[in-house]
A and B are shown apart, each in its own frame.
Chain A
Amino acid sequence: MKHQTENASISRRDFVCRSAKAGLMIAAAGSLSYWLYDGKGPGRSSQATQASVVLPDFSISELGPRMSIISGDDRARTVQVGLKAIGGMESFIRRGDKVLIKVNAAFASPPIISATTNPQLVAEVVRLCLKAGASSVIVTDNPINNPESCFVLTGIGEAARSAGARVLLPVDSFFQPTTVEGASLIRQWPLLYGPFEGVNKVIGMAPVKNHHRSGASMIMKNWYGLLGGRRNIFHQNIHDCIMELAMMVKPTLVILDGTTAMMTNGPTGGSLADLKPTSTMIVSTDQVAADAFGATLLGKTVQDLPYILKAQAAGVGTADYESLKPVRERVG
């Protein structure tokens, strides 16, 4: 008898315990359902959107527009003279500045083909930045060909590193969507933003090249390498796209290398027969003016390159480079 009562009390305890657990389970299921209930369903674009970024203005407006056009074949010398002519690297890069250099490393081809920014020139500019007191220099690009191959074969990677810069390859996590104010094409488009974090000065460096779709690839077209995603869709409207790129990046300084110009078969080139010695280095704070002058090295006018006039109309700079009273010198 006693045994049975004990058993009964055990099973009663067991029952209470079990009921409590069952009650808890029902309460949990009920509250979870209430909390996560979604009567409407997902909307048109339910994908989580990444935070949008905007590139800041890197230009130094108080210096006013400046430009120099230096003749000569020794890139290290012409760029030194060109910079000196507009106030020296020290006027643009101050002590402690963090500098980003956007090179053209688009193709995995050797420097002699001139499809990419010249490595010696990159090294010299990195050296000048550091000499002016820059605390760090980053060299980056999102090339068309395989990134690692591009930075190795163009010689840019090695040259930049040995001059003291850090080379950043375009890893996935660097890209964040950007919308250029007033733009109709570059909206919510992935931008190579990672390398720009903490940077306060930007230098654009590009060679002068023939480009079949847009007419010429120089400084403004070179910003294309900051875009990610299926960017080739922009070739459907290349001139507006380049104009918007120029609106997107407000660089501290641009260096357009016209020592050798790619006259045909651009933008890849591939043969020395495509090249022509044009012996000119352009240093400018106005990217539109730099490209407008660069066009003349290719035997073109600004009318041949609609994006230059579009960028001018958008207020990016002036196509009338003579109005900047460029300093002209000859080296060697």
Chain B
Amino acid sequence: MSIITVRRISQAFFLLLFFWFCIVSSFGSEWWQLRGWPVNWFLQLDPLVALGTLLATGTLYAGLLWALATVVLTVLLGRFFCGWVCPFGTMHQLVGYLGKRSKSVPDRATANQYHRGQAVKYYLLVFLLSAAAGALIARAVRSAFDISVILWLLAIATVVIITLNFIGVSGRKRKTAGLLILLLGLWILLALVFSMDRMIGASLQTGLLDPIPLLHRSVNLVLLPLTDATPQLLSTTQRYYEGAWLIGLIFLTAILLNLKSPRFYCRYVCPLGALFGVMGSFAVWRIGKTRDECTQCKLCEANCEGACEPTDQIRTAECVLCVNCLDDCKHGLMGFRTMPSATGEIASPDLSRRGFVVTLATGVAAIPIIRLGGYLQQNWNADLIRPPGALSEPDFLSRCIKCGQCMRICPTNIIQPADLQGGLEAVWTPTLNFRIGTSGCQLNCIACSHVCPTAAIRPISLDEKLGRAAFAELGPIRLGTAFVDRGRCLPWAMDKPCIVCQENCPVSPKAIFVEEHFNTVREGVLQVSQANATTLEIADPKLLPGGYSSGDYFIRVALENESRRRLIVENTDRLFKIDPRRPFQKPLPTGAVIEIQVRLQRPQVDPARCIGCGICEHECPVSGRRAIRITAENESRNRRHSLLLESRRHEGPKGPSGSPGIPNSGKG
């Protein structure tokens, strides 16, 4: 079996495995649904996820340790992941194959020439990682002024450099010295001028372009939902994702670009490939010519996936280890060995020092510029409702890779990719939308928090979510609070009985309670023409037969002191029959004025009980813009968003007495 067949089997296996994991990331009782399948395995193998979260949080979360295996293999072998494992790469290779099938060998070889633009991916990598490392870099800059030893060393270095400069050194050294002084000055300026902790933060944006999260997002939110129309295949109901068009468009563009240039995404865009390129700089084994006896036939470049120019000096950072050249060389010159190529090689990525520094600075600066919008401060958006267990916003943004796993696993389909409601940084991070999907956040579900590969939504227990057992004192996790829009609510605004929201509130005791109210209906003041103890006939017959017999309508005698209302049990166009258990002691005289009143139960929210699950919003019969809606007010994850004084009580350290209330007179 040729090495190429082995590679193809490996690619097919991992592609199918990837799709399998996406499919099984679903909640249900079928054998193929979530049963401990390692659905995050590809994300965990991805060292960009590991490195990004590591830079942003200073920790390596549980399963992300898998990335170490990828790193070790890459350092030894080069970009094997791109050519043998990456499911996105496999899709590119497949489409690229379709595109080049009809082309001649020279045309193919031309399409596989190295292009300067392939360096873009390295700059993207530097940009994304420096945005994630902003807080770390700021801390490093700042530490010089908190640790006096470093400060002294810097001062001494400055003095030495300046003195050396004065006692005459060569022009070249003088230039270096000047540059050093400039850098020191810049450091001091940065540390003194910028309030580091407030503005500069870690923002993990690698997921935008990292192929594994990108593919997960595309498959979870676009490809799989397209199959939902096929009845009962993967989902009982059609799943919807807001803004899926953009995710789909990006996916489609990335795929179709292969027709123009094979593995376009891998060559020009992929930051993960760039990271592998950097890590593989010292690869022990590499592709190369065994002898310098090449005829320049360029056959080896006809099917070269990485555009790494094996004919000439091979660019090892670009080589995706497709190993096509091993087979294509008719002279048996190509090999995978510990020796560098006989015609020489370019081992390091095509990344200039100046370009690196500028990109790094841009990446670090981008986040504070975005945050000037104040989304993490006073201008926070209450429409951004995070799933239960989500960390506080800055911590969340330093972990979320926008992979969409929580959106796929959510059984009710309410977890949606955010657009701009959380600012530019939060695009495609999870937010809850209670109109879409099949219900609100299910009381006994903690799936999203356990599927999250980076603990942006940290794993919680049901006890913690519901505030039971050990968490009883802390209370349940609140996602937000329901607010009744009295201008749209049927009982409040339109005199229609409803209280669907109250009935569906899953909290016990209910967070939604009702206020009883009787309102005289429109044109409900009538004159009696004839009456006995339980029947009233009105002077001007205009009633809708049966219109008031629903059990919600009552008759009140207008001019009578008695405020007791009598339930209407039946009506025709002119007759009312009232509840026979409460007859009129004395039949009403002709000409008496009565009012038809409707009994309304108007919903109110007890903010101390509401957990923001959104079931009320989902069920509200005002189906367009709901009459009861959740906003993130009072969410547990940020105490600055507290709505109530009481909800703060259990937070913060306990006092010596531990019990709230009026303290003892301590001072006497």
Contact = CB atoms under 8 A, between A and B. Distances in A.
B661 to A, nearest CB: 6
B662 A187 contact: no
B54 A36 contact: yes
Contacts of B61: 38, 41
Interface stretch (A12-20, A75-83, A148-156): A12-20
Interface in B270-288: 279, 281-284
A306 to B, nearest CB: 11
Nearest to A17: B282
Contact of A313 (B645, B653, B662): B662
A237 B652 contact: no
B154 to A, nearest CB: 23
A18 B283 CA distance: 7
Range class of the A interface residue count: 35 or more
A243 B61 CA distance: 45
B202 to A, nearest CB: 12
A26 B668 CA distance: 66
A314 interface: yes
A213 to B, nearest CB: 13
Contact of B645 (A26, A42, A185, A247): A185
A36 B60 contact: yes
Contacts of A38: 59-62
Interface string A224-264: 00000110011011001001000100000000000000000
B517 interface: no
- State the majority secondary structure of interface residues on B: loop
Contacts of B65: 33, 37
B282 A181 contact: no
Contacts of B59: 36-38
B214 to A, nearest CB: 24
Given A11-B340, A25-B279, A233-B645, A187 B394 contact: no
Contacts of B661: 184
Interface string B630-647: 000000000110111100
A14 B665 CA distance: 79
B296 interface: no
A213 B464 CA distance: 37
A181 B464 CA distance: 28
B487 interface: no
Nearest to B70: A29
A9 interface: no
A22 B62 contact: no
Contacts, number: 139
Contacts of B662: 240, 243, 310, 313-314
Interface stretch (B71-79, B241-249, B499-507, B614-622): B71-79
Nearest to A43: B458
Contact of A41 (B281, B455, B643): B455
A46 interface: yes
Interface string B652-667: 1101110011111111
A45 B392 contact: yes
A310 B459 CA distance: 43
Given A26-B72, A181-B656, A182-B657, A46 B642 contact: no
Contacts of B395: 42, 46-47
B385 interface: no
Contact of B652 (A47, A179, A230, A234): A179
A315 interface: yes
Contacts of B282: 18-19, 21-22, 25
B374 interface: no
Contacts of B474: 44
Given A22-B75, A188-B651, A188-B653, A33 B68 contact: yes
Contacts of A234: 645
A22 B649 CA distance: 54
10 A-B pairs with least C-beta separation: A315-B665, A184-B660, A182-B663, A188-B652, A41-B455, A187-B652, A38-B59, A21-B282, A22-B282, A315-B667
Interface of A: 11, 14-15, 18-19, 21-22, 25-26, 29-30, 32-33, 36-47, 52, 172-173, 177, 179, 181-185, 187-188, 229-230, 233-234, 236-237, 240, 243, 247, 310, 313-316
21 contacts: A15-B338, A18-B282, A19-B282, A33-B50, A33-B65, A33-B67, A41-B61, A42-B57, A42-B391, A42-B458, A45-B651, A46-B395, A179-B653, A179-B655, A181-B663, A184-B660, A185-B645, A187-B648, A230-B640, A315-B664, A315-B668
